[in-house]
């Protein structure tokens, strides 16, 4: 698949088919994720993949804690966000809302419960980094995650990054046997998209180039 086509087409998938993904495909996607550049080639990213009964048990655990603690889905910032970021976030929610209405769930409930169950995807990927690294190295992991999302798309698979679950990093680490020296940065749902589901039937917009690019000349 052409790279620019993959970059333009990729979007987050929030409904999945009950269809297994082969181990070979998962390995290939993670291999591509590992091709990302990193500072002095340290490749600080680590991926833990779970599926089947174990993935279901992880989802049940996360859903149970979420029901008890009810952590809201939000930007996670301590200071109020400048208006332009709030607007982008609101616009994304507005794009999703009409489709989510069809599920019968309120928007927040859909995102919170959906995130905790990896939106029903057959595969859950958990991304971690050794705590020995400074926060700047999260950047390298982000690059690798982008490669992963694009590689999955090129293989005809859907993904959704799920940051919400990282508030339950301790429980996830315990469940997946991830040592305490690792920081859990993100979850990723992975599987074949249910193209007929209304919740996959919208695309978020992006700012004009002039909003994100400035020249000094």
Ligand X SMILES: Cc1cc2nc3c(=O)[nH]c(=O)nc-3n(C[C@H](O)[C@H](O)[C@H](O)COP(=O)(O)O)c2cc1C
| Binding site residues, ligand X, CB under 6 A | 11-12, 92, 111, 115, 160-164, 186, 204
C-beta of 42: minimal distance to ligand X in Å? Answer: 21
Of 38 and 99, CB closest to ligand X: 99
Of 152 and 160, CB closest to ligand X: 160
Of 50 and 159, CB closest to ligand X: 159
C-beta of 91: minimal distance to ligand X in Å? Answer: 10
Instruction: Name the DSSP class of 78.
Output: S
C-beta of 24: minimal distance to ligand X in Å? Answer: 26
| Enclosing H/E stretch for 93 | helix 83-101
Phi, psi (rounded to 5 degrees) for 191: 170, -175
C-beta of 160: minimal distance to ligand X in Å? Answer: 5
C-beta of 87: minimal distance to ligand X in Å? Answer: 13
Phi, psi (rounded to 5 degrees) for 207: -65, 160
208: which residues sit within 8 A by CB, 6+ positions away?
none
Residue nearest to ligand X (CB): 163
Of 92 and 169, CB closest to ligand X: 92
DSSP labels for 113-133? HHHHTGGG-SEEEEEEEETTS
* CB neighbour burial string for 97-130, b if at least 16 within 10 angstroms, e if fewer: eebbeebeeeeeebbbbbbbbbbbbbbbbbbbbe
Q: How far is CA 144 from CA 21, 122, 135, in A?
A: 20, 21, 15
C-beta of 53: minimal distance to ligand X in Å? Answer: 23
Of 11 and 109, CB closest to ligand X: 11
- Contact at 8 Å (CB) between 112 and 164? yes
Of 56 and 113, CB closest to ligand X: 113
């Amino acid at each position: 698949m052409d790279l620019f086509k993959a970059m333009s087409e990729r979007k987050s998938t929030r409904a999945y088919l009950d269809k297994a993904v082969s181990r070979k495909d998962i390995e290939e996607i993670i291999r591509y994720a590992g091709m990302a550049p990193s500072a002095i080639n340290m490749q600080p990213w680590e991926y833990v993949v779970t599926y089947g009964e174990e993935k279901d048990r992880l989802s049940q655990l996360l859903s149970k804690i979420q029901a008890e603690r009810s952590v809201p889905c939000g930007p996670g910032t301590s200071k109020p966000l400048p208006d332009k970021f709030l607007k982008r976030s609101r616009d994304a929610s507005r794009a999703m809302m009409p489709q989510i209405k069809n599920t019968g769930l309120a928007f927040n409930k859909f995102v919170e419960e959906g995130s905790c169950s990896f939106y029903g995807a057959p595969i859950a990927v958990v991304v971690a980094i050794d705590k020995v690294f400074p926060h700047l190295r999260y950047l390298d992991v982000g690059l690798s995650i982008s490669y992963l999302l694009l590689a999955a798309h090129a293989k005809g698979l859907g993904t959704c990054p799920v940051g919400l679950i990282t508030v339950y990093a301790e429980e996830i680490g315990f469940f997946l046997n991830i040592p305490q020296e690792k920081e859990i940065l993100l979850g990723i749902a992975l599987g074949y998209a249910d193209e007929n589901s209304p919740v996959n039937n919208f695309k978020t917009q992006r700012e004009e180039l002039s909003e994100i690019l400035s020249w000094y000349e």
